[in-house]
Amino acid sequence: MADRTRTRLLNALKCSGPQTAAELAAGLSVTSVAVRQHLDGLLQEEQVAFDDVKGSVGRPKRVWRLTAKGHWQFPDNHSNLVLGLLNGLDDLFGADGLEKLISHREAQSRQSYAQAMGGAVRLSDKVSVLAGLRNLEGYMAEVAEDEDGYLLIENHCSICAAATACNGFCQSELRLFRDVLGAEVVVTRTEHQLSGDRRCAYRIEPRA
């Protein structure tokens, strides 16, 4: 019953937009106490957030809304769309067309990464900036440091559908890392999700 109420609450926010707890309770025909309990749980899971909206009189109203993570709970056909577009590109322009698309994406990323990394001098700072950029793109990146250098770990592949269809995307990202970190750094992929590993990981070390 609790899971059903939770699902109905998420559906209500998805279909009708931001609402107060009282409005949600009335729409779902459950108590405000029950709604607030579920909202508190969803807030901890970062699936919902709230805004305190001031009215003309009285205390501000707390209006609840779905976060990006909350929206992700609903079906998304973007993977099939990406695969369809890549297959169509291959049919129309062949392997050369796909390679041009990958190179174009790589050049755009190189420019934005280099700009973000402009103030970083030490390798540790560069790796930290790189991990932050990858996190913004949904890769769930983290950095581990040891005596030899750094390990950039990506716990999620946010372009998995595209990379599955064309492994050129994975090779492009490895080239991108090497370019933005500089010639004095060696970057090696040590784990690869599409090769059966749980995650992708890159060993980053100063060149001897």
For residues 8-24, give the mean pLDDT: 90
Can you state the angle between helices 21-28 and 2-16, rounded to 10 degrees?
110
Extents of the domains making up the chain: 2-71, 78-206
Q: Which CATH class is domain 2-71?
A: mainly alpha
pLDDT digits (tens, 9 = 90+) for 25-76: 999 999 999 999 999 999 999 999 999 998 777 788 999 998 888 887 776 6
* Alpha-carbon span 202 to 150, nearest angstrom: 8
What are the percentages of helix, strand and coil residues in the chain, rounded to 5? 55, 20, 25
pLDDT digits (tens, 9 = 90+) for 146-162: 999 999 999 888 788 77
User: 78-206 maps to which CATH number?
Assistant: 3.30.1380
Whether the predicted pLDDT of 14 surpasses 90:
no
For residues 122-144, give the mean pLDDT: 93
Q: Please measure the distance between the N-terminal and C-terminal CA atoms of the chain and give it in whole angstroms.
A: 61
Whether the predicted pLDDT of 103 surpasses 70:
yes
- For the entire predicted model, the pTM comes to 0.63
